[in-house]
Amino acid sequence: MPPSKRAVAAWDALNPRQRTYMAVFYAADQAAEKFWKGAWGRREESLPASVWRWLDYGTVGNSLAGLGKLQRALQNEGVRDPGAGSTLEALEQREMIETRSTPALLGYRLEVQLTTFGRAVCRAGGLDPDRPMAPRRGLLSQALWGMLAEVHEAGPQGLHRERADGAWTRLTQREPEPFVEQVPAHADGSAFGYAGPWLLRLTDAGRAHYVAHWQEYARLYPGVDAPGPDGGPVWPPEVDEELQRLREATWPPAALLKEIHADLSRLDDLPLSRTVAAVQGRGPLARIATARNNASTAYDTAVQRAAGRYRATLEEQTAELADLRRQATARYAAAVTAVVNAVVAGTSPAEAVQQDPGVVEWPWAPAVPVTGLREVDEHLARQHPMATPAPPKKRSRAARAAERTTGKTARPQDDIGDRLFLYARELESLVAGGKLVRLLMRARAG
């Protein structure tokens, strides 16, 4: 069902900050819905929506309190600041959210709930583009379609399951014809009381349903990676495999860098000897004190010289490893960006994944791809700043003085690789398993 004109107009009237707040609230709301609606499958008791739709914002009015879930999510988006109260008030006045508070030891605990209209506004804004659509009569739910796709992918040998009760009976006992048949996996399956394991295979009716409605299901449930009707993958698996290889290629230099940073920190706190007080005169005590101090000085000098040589080696390796890590991350980010662009353009993602930017000069980041899907494009626009390095912070006068006094040089964490990696990981999750292909199928069919 298309969004109402009122919901579309309400979304368009929001400023970027307000849209970010709504996106955070909607993501938390949908995560709660998924969790609680899955309670039956986990054999747990569920709660009514009137309870779980209230989301923990966090403590307000107490700067010492830890962050709540929504406060932390807003901070990650860069919009948690003293203006948060005004933004919440504006959204509540527009009847998109409701709030309630309970007293805390210091300040008060705030909860936020999206209204029905607020969720409609989020969907009108394109948030959650892979949200399942309501199937027409005669089609399966998203969960049952995913199960049918599992059986189809298993092929003639069948899908091995220890149990085939619960939701599986909706397929194995479907009227007038079942879509899935279950047969004992062991030769003694005809024995009385046999309870599994089972092999599940498509019936003729199930196979015909799969072939006839696969494309419609792909639009209804883009989050389900269902093989094509001919049994072949809709998405070339070698693309996911290559992206995984490129992602994992960034790990070894990152792990070594972490070890080197730990060693450098340990060098700043080397155990040195203690100087004892000098003893006047020429007696045994004075001789012992002098010998001990001489040995202590020699020990400290040797330790500091060895530490200096080791530090120089580590710092040289740090620069080399940081460059290796950045280049590997750039290769990963360039490849996944090219894959996104290929999917949008309708060209081969298998060729695009071979994209190599070569040796890049920092700071560097790939251009933001444009998919034409509003929510996806707005999300990528919010995430793209992660791909660019933050400007270095100017060291304070006290920090510089401490370095001169102690000889310990502050080593700020080089997070360029981290930030670009996280952004590339966002892009990979968008295309993995052909998800973006199905999202575009839905958008273009609508």
Among candidates 256, 260, 253, 292, which has minimal Cα distance to 276?
292
Q: Are the C-beta atoms of residues 21 and 57 closer than 8 Å to each other?
A: no
Q: Is the pLDDT of residue 128 over 80?
A: no
Handedness of CA 281, 286, 290, 293 (dihedral sign): negative
d(Cα 3, Cα 238) in Å, to the nearest integer?
Answer: 37
Distance CA 251, CA 418 (A): 11
pTM over 0.75: no
Domain ranges of the chain: 5-124, 142-234, 241-445
Of the CA atoms within 13 Å of residue 166, those in its CB half-sphere come to 13
Spatial separation of the C-alpha atoms in residues 220 and 135, rounded to whole Å? 7
CATH of 5-124, one of 1.10.3470, 2.30.30, 2.60.40, 1.10.10: 1.10.10
Burial of 357 (0-12, 13-18, 19+ CB in 10 A): middle
Give dist(CA 318, CA 267) in Å, integer.
Answer: 15
CA-based nearest residue to 334, from 355, 351, 361, 359: 355
* Confidence check: pLDDT of 40 > 80: no
Residue 369: burial class (beta carbons within 10 Å; 0-12, 13-18, 19+): buried
Tell me the percentage of the chain whose pLDDT exceeds 70. Answer: 85
pLDDT band at 411 (very low <50, low <70, confident <90, very high): very low
Question: Which of 90-99, 208-217, 219-228, 430-439 has the highest mean predicted lDDT (pLDDT)?
Answer: 90-99
More confident residue, 66 or 28: 28
Strand, coil or helix: what is 161? Answer: strand
